[in-house]
Amino acid sequence: MSAPLAIERDGSIAVIVIDHPPVNALAHRLRTALLAAIERLDADPTVQAIVLHGAGRNFIAGADISEFDQPAQPPLLNELLFRLESCAKPVIAALHGAALGGGAETALACHYRAATADLKLGFPEVTLGLLPGAGGTVRLPRVAGWQASIELMTGGKPVDRERAVALGVVDHRIEGEARAGAVAWARELVAAGAAPRRLRELPAPDASPELFAAARAALPAAAGRLPAPGRIVDSLEASATRPFEQALDRARELFEECRRSSESRALRYLFFAERGSSADRDAALRVDSAGVIGAGTMGAGIAISLATAGIAVTIVDSKPESLAAGLARVASTIEGSALKGRMTAADAAAAVARVRGAGDLQALAAVDLVIEAVFENLAVKQELFAQLGKLCKPQAVLATNTSTLDVDAIAAASGRAVDVAGMHFFSPAHVMRLVEIIRGRESSRATLATLRAVTRRIGKIGVTVGNCYGFVGNRMLYAYGREKELMLLEGSTPEAIDRALEEFGMAMGPNAVGDLAGLDIGYQARRQWSERPDDPRFYRVSDRLAELGRYGQKSGRGFYRYDGPDRKRQPDPEVLELIRTEAKILGVAQRKIANTEIVERCICALANEGARILEEGIAASPADIDVIWCNGYGFPRHRGGPMFHADTIGLATVVEAMRRFGGEQGARYWTPAPLLASLAEREGTFAGWQAGRAGGD
């Protein structure tokens, strides 16, 4: 293993080149080497200044998160940065690319900071349920002030160079290469007799207790469920009221409290789960052009994602008015992103120019990738893929955006099943991060690798899953939704169910989600489900609402009413009457259902169906299931996903609850999956089961 840094000389200027791929994370071996380099150079009388530079695309992108679940090994970052700041000769940070988390804290411990135009400096620790524990909460306010420090750390979003200059964090702009620019500036500082400038020696700005009370009150409601945002404010307040070293100690204490929390463990788990595997990347085919069939909301969203990633897109729709509307939607959405500052006007114009329309499939004869986004009907999709199989060039990858249908049946119709797989986008496709990549029985390695590569290229998280009705996400959604539908018949109300699950942390309750997506969509999908449970109660309420034309927000009526001036959802007495009528027809006795039961039934149903999916090999790991549910279905990230959450509360607890519900309602839906029952019996976890499989046990 190569050394994580090198010391190079440019006359009297020593350059420490951090070279710890892929992002120069501050792992133990790098911290050890950096401490030794600092001590050596500080003692060298021929060195007049030290430049700290990151090789590759980044300065330092943060700490090594994989070490957070292990005992801390000295030197801790706090100790390293205190020693760095103590150097008797000027230390200059050559900032470029990412300077995040521990990287930003390292920059603050340097005496001077120079930056190139591509700098992204920030404190994203809050997204992992943590706080800056190596001096960020103590040093940053001394240069940037309290309000900016609160915003940067509780928000977690990085700032660019110009904002960093305005805050006083960056002292000098480099217009060329980071290392050369920093060395040249170091020479100027030496010539001017510049001394070390330590932020710890500056007084903390004045602050009133009211400032921090207001900061806590201003935290988003969701932050109340997480330990980090409030503790960030606590740490900053300690910096205002305590001497530097005491404030530093307090920051470390608060960091440790966060690190040990279940919320941070969940967020760190997702961080790694979402990174995915690099396997098979060499098998991916090149994709320069793509076709999208269908110019509706989904097709336009897919086209936006492709075009903004540099892929030329042809949208095909046989209806001229639909095609015109889809192209207009693409242009207005991309141009809107530029107006909001999410991309430059030039980049937006280039992306819009990459999209063209056509009324005939012949326009797709030479494209590298086709993504179908037409009506969710098996016969329609089969007919379309039969045409694509003959028309498209050899090795063009053909993807269906079905959310529930049999990918193998669609692939077989093409006559070239090796080139076909599913690519299930979530709506709105240009916003939602998740794509389920569905592996058909004959999908080739190159086909799947290509879809994974395209998914990464367009900035989304792709999870490869097996082929069954609903795949992973929607199959589990039916188990989750089944319980909320049964509880409606049993006496709960749509708003009570939604409120209980939103308080648990779901982004939206299931009834509100149904209204948003359109109750007619699920209704039509269930009509085509040959293995739908033979139970008259199954989705009875949703089906009746759809049959009455109550499709949700699109029709102004669904589980809720949307007829106010702001179209905000309102409870509807007509729905309660419909539910009571249906319960009476079915002989279901109604009762009051506690919030705890609502949550338990829905979440246990998810975990149990997830266990069945793992047993069948539809999902490769519990982490894949959790990534799907946290990114596609609004499961609370601070709970890690349904499988991680089940592990956290204990699988024996899940099974005990299921058996309790089975005793009350019958075993039909409450028989634990064999994997779940087995793990619970021996006090195992889904994570441990996966680790055993990976280890060959």
Q: Is the pLDDT of residue 223 over 90?
A: no
Q: What is the rounded average pLDDT of the residues 19-24?
A: 95
pLDDT at site 221: 72
How far apart are alpha carbons 493 and 578 in whole angstroms? Answer: 11
The residue type at 112: Y
480 and 385 both lie in a single domain: no
Q: What is the rounded average pLDDT of the residues 85-113?
A: 98
Q: What is the rounded average pLDDT of the residues 507-519?
A: 95
548 and 666 both lie in a single domain: yes
480 and 597 both lie in a single domain: yes
How far apart are alpha carbons 72 and 374 in whole angstroms? Answer: 53
Q: What is the rounded average pLDDT of the residues 51-67?
A: 96
Domain span at residue 314? 292-465
Strand locations in 249-305 (E): 289-293
CATH number, domain containing residue 393: 3.40.50.720
- Asked if the structure places residue 440 within a domain, the reply is yes
383 and 321 both lie in a single domain: yes
Chain segment 458-487, per-residue pLDDT in tens:
999 999 999 999 999 999 999 999 999 999
499 and 642 both lie in a single domain: yes
Of the candidates 105, 436, 582, 609, the residue annotated as catalytic is 105
pLDDT at site 531: 86
pLDDT at site 383: 97
Q: Is the pLDDT of residue 696 over 80?
A: no
Chain segment 194-214, per-residue pLDDT in tens:
999 999 999 999 998 899 999
Q: What is the rounded average pLDDT of the residues 306-334?
A: 97
Q: Is the pLDDT of residue 553 over 80?
A: yes
Among 524-533, 593-602, 609-618, whose mean pLDDT is lowest? 524-533
Boundary-marking domain end, from 433, 465, 497:
465
Boundary-marking domain end, from 407, 437, 465:
465
Of the candidates 125, 483, 490, 597, the residue annotated as catalytic is 125
- Asked if the structure places residue 311 within a domain, the reply is yes
Q: Taking a C-beta distance cutoff of 8 angstroms, is the pair 586, 489 a contact? A: yes
CATH number, domain containing residue 184: 3.90.226.10
- Asked if the structure places residue 534 within a domain, the reply is yes
Chain segment 367-384, per-residue pLDDT in tens:
999 999 998 899 999 999
Q: Is the pLDDT of residue 95 over 90?
A: yes
149: three-class secondary structure by DSSP: helix
- Asked if the structure places residue 223 within a domain, the reply is yes
244 and 374 both lie in a single domain: no
- Asked if the structure places residue 25 within a domain, the reply is yes
Total domains present in the chain: 3
Chain segment 226-283, per-residue pLDDT in tens:
889 999 999 999 999 999 999 999 999 999 999 999 999 999 999 999 987 767 888 9
228 and 298 both lie in a single domain: no
Q: Taking a C-beta distance cutoff of 8 angstroms, is the pair 581, 554 a contact? A: no
Instruction: Give the single-character DSSP code of 590.
Output: P
Q: What is the rounded average pLDDT of the residues 570-579?
A: 97
Boundary-marking domain end, from 440, 465, 490:
465
| Better-scored residue on pLDDT, 564 or 624 | 624
| Better-scored residue on pLDDT, 611 or 525 | 611
Chain segment 115-159, per-residue pLDDT in tens:
999 999 999 999 999 999 999 999 999 999 999 999 999 999 999
How far apart are alpha carbons 230 and 650 in whole angstroms? Answer: 28
How far apart are alpha carbons 594 and 83 in whole angstroms? Answer: 56
Chain segment 629-681, per-residue pLDDT in tens:
999 999 999 999 999 999 999 999 999 999 999 999 999 999 999 999 999 99
- Asked if the structure places residue 520 within a domain, the reply is yes
- Asked if the structure places residue 271 within a domain, the reply is no
CATH number, domain containing residue 687: 1.10.1040.50
519 and 580 both lie in a single domain: yes
483 and 530 both lie in a single domain: yes
490 labelled catalytic: no
Q: What is the mean pLDDT of the chain?
A: 95
404 and 479 both lie in a single domain: no
How far apart are alpha carbons 568 and 424 in whole angstroms? Answer: 29
- Asked if the structure places residue 287 within a domain, the reply is no
Q: Is the pLDDT of residue 564 over 90?
A: no
Q: Is the pLDDT of residue 697 over 50?
A: no
299 and 164 both lie in a single domain: no
Q: Where does the pLDDT of residue 575 fall: very low under 50, low under 70, confident under 90, or very high at 90 and above?
A: very high
Nearest to 138 by CA among 73, 34, 234, 35: 234
pLDDT at site 1: 67
210 labelled catalytic: no
461 and 478 both lie in a single domain: no
